[in-house]
Chain A
């Protein structure tokens, strides 16, 4: 009876979820001795109490919040997510609109102030043909000011495929001048780079995410089977993982994508590529999941659940997986940039997504030629966006991993 007593006089806060207690030696609640008096317990500071009643996810969030770099990256990531959802809203042009006479227009830099007042404008451009080389030369004409505004009307589209609208994030104040705003210049075919970039962001980011989701599902299922059941299933899955991991990735990916029929529609190619990327992506995760299952199988709380008559599915889903969900999220966040870079590289070589689909890699195809690059260096901008996206994914992933680790300070 004496041994049960302290449990009853524990502050309510210590009724924390099981897994948080398992994972977090940082919890400052001292092991309660039967001899402890009530007054001593009351001396636990409020701060400690706040920590002790926090759920595992709250603790992860508190740790993540402290990392400024990861927080900043999260903001950028959320912005990119908005672009993924509403590329038409951010675009200023129809991305397919071509006009060879408007090729290689340079970046129009946005001027925020106009005669001391906040009134953003871009200078107009005028093309002159070089009489000798017949090359088009674009000169910015600072005297022609095209004023910009937010939520400007432009081409009409359906927001999320549902709501018909013609509003765009930025655009010319005067609808007559709408066709003169090229925020990031144009490419060889006179297509507006800024608008193409928004649509490319949608495709490239979703390829990365979908293939990671596929990898996570495969990795959880196969890694779970491998770790929880062991035996011959474990043996086969482990050999398969070793086999897949010893494949030279890029050449095999090239061969796989080269094998996709040229006649396939962009949607089909899109899904084929996500599957190809996931085909190897799951192996790392499966190994990690297997390791976790192997060690969790021996834990007391699993035994306790078994003894209480929980079914296997319940033990796995309710007791085991929640203990490492945060790790899975961190690992998969770190896997997304790998997928993005691979897709970009494949498309860049002409073997991944193909025009008319627009992805970062497809856009970079325009930048393959050094002469073109010298003439129009802004064609490299999609590449800079790739670097930015990979960077923020890595920073967020690192932050999550550290936050999910209960042993970090």
Chain B
């Protein structure tokens, strides 16, 4: 177990290195760079930079160097824990990102908790009350939940709340708290706002997880140990919770591997629609404006989160299921 864990940990830097090359190639790929578009904007507004100024800016950001030198410089500063300077905001990237990273994590994790809290009881209910009205209803909702892109759901909810109640459900804070420093009142305000995006982001995963849970449990419910349990006089509730549910939940742990990363990056589009201050909209803006170091840093953070998500699920699975543990050692 420990060896397996260490192996996986050692793999992280290797993966991150590969991803960093890939990410840099990506943010470097669009024709032109930030400066060319910056100069274009300036000249369209009537002002211009003289050659000396352009040279100075190019040097400052290392844009005059060949690509591989730019990459090495970027990696060097990354290793020193610096994420470079945003070309657009003229602020350190680390500041821009850390402002929003917390909210990204909170949003993804709350959606995750929502998913599990809803999906598992619903799956258990559906499987144990097979072919009842509620089971059918759950199945229908599941199909629709899986089929609805989350930004579409966000749009529908926004429109509905606005046209019915005149409410705006965008953003994570009320206006007075947006710029305010963290306080208890701000936290309460966040709780008031976070549940809509939480449901929007989590609903597709909830639908899928409910289906998996239901199917897994149905497989277990027909096994002979259920009959023997009943014969020994276990109450139905005890019997189901103690054996088949535990077995049916195990495979769900493997879903964390794809689900957590999906939540991190899935919130990206919803965040843009609902104006949530997480790193999604920041990435989108930096990509469009070719703010390449900022975009690169954010992409790398997403990669890191994806790797960690997979790692957590693999370890959890090995810990939960002795069969996998034996195989690995």
Nearest-neighbor residue (CB-CB) of B139 within chain A: A69
Whole-angstrom distance between the Cβ of B309 and the nearest chain A Cβ: 9
A249 CB–B CB distance under 8 Å: yes
A374 CB–B CB distance under 8 Å: yes
Q: Tell me if A258 and B151 are in contact (CB < 8 A).
A: no
Q: Tell me if A387 and B295 are in contact (CB < 8 A).
A: no
Q: Tell me if A373 and B158 are in contact (CB < 8 A).
A: yes
CB contact list, B276-322 vs A, under 8 A? 283-284, 287-288, 295, 298-299, 302-303, 305-307, 310
Q: Tell me if A370 and B162 are in contact (CB < 8 A).
A: yes
Q: Tell me if A380 and B156 are in contact (CB < 8 A).
A: yes
Whole-angstrom distance between the Cβ of A87 and the nearest chain B Cβ: 22
- Across the interface, B155 reaches (CB within 8 A) one of A249, A337, A367, namely A367
Interface of B is mostly: helix
B159 CB–A CB distance under 8 Å: yes
* Size band of the interface chain A makes with B: 35 or more
Q: Tell me if B168 and A246 are in contact (CB < 8 A).
A: no
Whole-angstrom distance between the Cβ of B276 and the nearest chain A Cβ: 14
How many Å lie between the Cα of A388 and that of B158 in the bound state? 20
Whole-angstrom distance between the Cβ of B101 and the nearest chain A Cβ: 14
Segment from A160-168, A196-204, A291-299, A342-350 that makes contact with B: A342-350
Residues of A within 8 A of B19 (CB): 247
Given A259-B26, A349-B272, residue A246 in contact with residue B310 (CB < 8 A): yes
Residues of A within 8 A of B283 (CB): 251, 254
Q: Tell me if B306 and A248 are in contact (CB < 8 A).
A: yes
Residue picked from A255, A388, A395, most chain B C-beta under 10 Å: A255
B146 CB–A CB distance under 8 Å: yes
Q: Tell me if A377 and B284 are in contact (CB < 8 A).
A: no
How many Å lie between the Cα of A310 and that of B287 in the bound state? 54
How many Å lie between the Cα of A252 and that of B261 in the bound state? 12
Given A255-B295, A370-B168, A374-B159, residue A387 in contact with residue B143 (CB < 8 A): no
Nearest-neighbor residue (CB-CB) of B275 within chain A: A370
Whole-angstrom distance between the Cβ of B315 and the nearest chain A Cβ: 15
Q: Tell me if B30 and A387 are in contact (CB < 8 A).
A: no
Whole-angstrom distance between the Cβ of B202 and the nearest chain A Cβ: 16
B265 CB–A CB distance under 8 Å: yes
B54 CB–A CB distance under 8 Å: no
CB-defined interface of A333-369 with B at 8 Å, one 1/0 digit per residue? 0000100010011001111000000000000100110
- Across the interface, A337 reaches (CB within 8 A) one of B147, B159, B163, B303, namely B147
Q: Tell me if A259 and B147 are in contact (CB < 8 A).
A: no
Residues of A within 8 A of B18 (CB): 243
Q: Tell me if B147 and A255 are in contact (CB < 8 A).
A: no
Given A250-B268, A251-B268, A373-B159, residue A391 in contact with residue B30 (CB < 8 A): no
- Across the interface, B30 reaches (CB within 8 A) one of A254, A258, A377, namely A258
Residues of B within 8 A of A (CB): 15, 18-19, 22-23, 26-27, 29-31, 143-144, 146-149, 151-152, 155-156, 158-159, 162-163, 168, 170, 261-262, 264-266, 268-269, 272-273, 283-284, 287-288, 295, 298-299, 302-303, 305-307, 310
Residues of A within 8 A of B (CB): 243, 246-252, 254-256, 258-259, 261, 337, 341, 344-345, 348-351, 364, 367-368, 370, 373-374, 377, 380, 383, 386-388, 390-391, 394-395
A-B contact list, 14 entries, CB within 8 Å: A248-B302, A250-B268, A250-B269, A252-B26, A255-B295, A349-B269, A350-B288, A351-B287, A373-B155, A374-B162, A380-B159, A388-B147, A390-B149, A394-B147
Q: What 10 A-B pairs come out closest when comparing CB atoms? A: A259-B29, A390-B147, A248-B302, A258-B287, A391-B147, A250-B265, A248-B306, A255-B26, A248-B265, A383-B152
Q: A248-B302, A370-B168 are in contact. List 6 more A-B contacts (CB 8 A).
A: A351-B284, A364-B152, A373-B158, A388-B147, A391-B144, A394-B143
